Chain A
Amino acid sequence: MLEIRDIAVHYGRHQALDKVALDVAKGEIVVILGANGAGKSTLLKTVAGLQAAVHGSTVTLDDHRLDGLPPHKVVEAGLALVPEGRGVFGELTVAENLAMGAYAQRARGDEARRLAQVLALFPKLAERRGQMVRTMSGGEQQMVAIGRALMSAPDILMLDEPSLGLSPLVCGELFDALEKVRDTGVGILLVEQNARRSLEMADRGYLLENGRIVGQGTAAALRDDENVRRAYLGAASAH
């Protein structure tokens, strides 16, 4: 169980996050909905150790404190982030990217089995193992990014706008893959513009506005909520 409590982040005088609290259990998909600039990316970056939070913010994963740890130790503890823009190693091959995913000590013993799982999840990657990642399409690079994160044997996987810039078809494939990942027992915390599709597959959701959580509930309840429909599922929906 990932427990985020009282996370506050300032960029100078601007308060990007204000006492944000949320939970993600293993085996569930939790989606964070919010407009651009609401603080979604900041939240994921902060939890991953890329962004400093105000003193008093806490992040725990199965009773291990993660707040204040550098990114590489957060991954080692079982929390992986697929950042916005994917963050793949463009100058490295697919195989090398996936091998680097298993750089964490926690992932090394089990590397071969996990690689087989990732290649089963994304068969396209198996055909392209020797290809330089920067020469691949956006959808394929996103597969590399997710596959690489899975190679670290995460308990919780965070994804920042994975569908950004992808065609609806590729986007659908990606979301199907995420559901399969959830079914293996990994918890998923997802930030998405595509509210309609992400609420279809998510178990629960949170609404983030101006750095504050302003609503939460099961995905079904959020889908039926009049305010959510107006704000996120109307004309604002991407696909």
Chain B
Amino acid sequence: MLFLILFTSLLLGGAYALMAMGLTLQYGVARIMNLSIGETLVGAAFAAFWLQTQAQVGPLWGLLVITPAAFVLNWLIYRHLLTPLVRRAKNRGMLEVDSILATFGLLFILQGVMLALFGGNYYSYSYFSEPVELFGHTFALNRIVAFAVAAAVALALYLGLNRTRTGTAVRAVSVDPVAAGLVAIDVARTSALAFAIGGALTACGGALLSMFLTFNASMGVVFTTKALIIVIMGGVGDPRGAVIAALLLALAETTVATLVDPGLTLAATYGLFVLILLFRPQGIMGRRTA
């Protein structure tokens, strides 16, 4: 039973981690608290659904379309919707308030578009749904595939952030945007890049989740909540913290769903969140700020 819970949560946590890394890039680097991140995720799930059912392109191939499309879309959102807010913000607090309001509005626009296109029904599709026997337990192949892809993407992100010049520049902006300008980093451009990568990661997570979860047009807010909880748990701006917190959240959800009642997963999520806020408010990997 323990193994079943651990392994199930690991498989679920992979896609959560992508979304949380997406939000941590958008918030930690571009300083945008993106409340429409759940809609990005659900939008990608619908895109994967549409590609699979209408264009006969499976979600794995679909990722090659969905991820770059999300990158471009998020780049445009940052450039045209959010850059004016960045320019007029006198300080970080003001940008946070403005970006929360702006992306809260964006949430309803994206949700409205999806409701208009797909209605309020629940959707799912069958892909790699054959059972796989692992250590005496049965898992759906699609969950394993989704996890493997999520792990590969997370690893690529980690290497990109730590081993490349551009990736180091992204981290430098996250640490100190003023000092970043003083070493010739174009902070506006790098922030746009981080926001776009964040959106692409989230979309990638959404397409992967759609392989085994049922979704509808108005459930974005559930994922936004999860992403916020993961990022606050993990420590803002640290992708490693986001991964650990994503796995913890998946573990809490799976444990409660398996041992208590599936209806209580959201309660478990909040329970964990409150515990972290009480005992480690700076996050798992975060440090106390002076």
Chain A contact residues, CB within 8 Å of chain B: 48-50, 70-72, 75-76, 80-81, 83, 87-92, 96, 99-101, 103-105, 107, 148-149, 152
Q: B175 touching A71 by the CB < 8 A rule?
A: no
B177 nearest CB across to chain A (Å): 10
A-B contact pairs, 14 of them (CB 8 A): A50-B181, A50-B182, A71-B178, A72-B183, A72-B184, A75-B183, A87-B179, A87-B182, A92-B175, A99-B168, A101-B183, A103-B169, A103-B185, A104-B183
In the complex, what's the smallest C-beta–C-beta distance from B2 to chain A, in angstroms? 36
Complex CA distance for A70 and B165, rounded to whole angstroms? 21
**How far apart are B68's CB and chain A's nearest CB, in angstroms?**
26
Distance (Å) between the CB of B162 and the closest chain A CB?
A: 9
The 4 closest A-B pairs by CB, nearest first: A71-B181, A104-B184, A87-B179, A75-B184
- Assess whether B168 is in contact with A75, with CB atoms less than 8 Å apart: no
Residue of B176, B181, B187 touching A89 (CB-CB under 8 A)? B176
Choice from B175, B178, B183 contacting A103 with Cβ under 8 Å:
B183
Most B CB contacts (10 A, CB to CB) among A81, A101, A103, A105 go to: A103
Residues of A within 8 A of B178 (CB): 50, 71, 83, 87
> Which residues in window 171-210 of B have CB below 8 A to A?
171-172, 174-176, 178-187
The residues of B that contact A103 with a CB separation of less than 8 Å are: 165, 169, 183-185
Is the pair A100, B186 in contact by a Cβ cutoff of 8 Å? no
Q: CA of A76 to CA of B38 in the docked complex: distance in angstroms? A: 39
A92 touching B168 in the complex, CB below 8 Å, given contacts A72-B186, A72-B187: yes
Are B175 and A48 in contact, with the CB atoms below 8 A?
no
Closest-by-CB residue of A relative to B189 is: A72
A148 touches B175 (CB 8 A): no
**Looking across the interface, which residue of chain B has its beta carbon closest to that of A86?**
B179
Q: Chain A residues with Cβ under 8 A from B165's Cβ?
A: 99, 103
Contact B176 A72 (CB under 8 A): no
Contact A152-B184, Cβ < 8 Å, known A87-B179, A89-B176 = yes
- In residues 138-186 of chain B, which contact A (Cβ within 8 Å)? 165, 168-169, 171-172, 174-176, 178-186
Contacts of B184 in A (CB 8 A): 72, 75-76, 103-105, 107, 152
* Least distance between B271 CB and chain A CB atoms (Å): 31
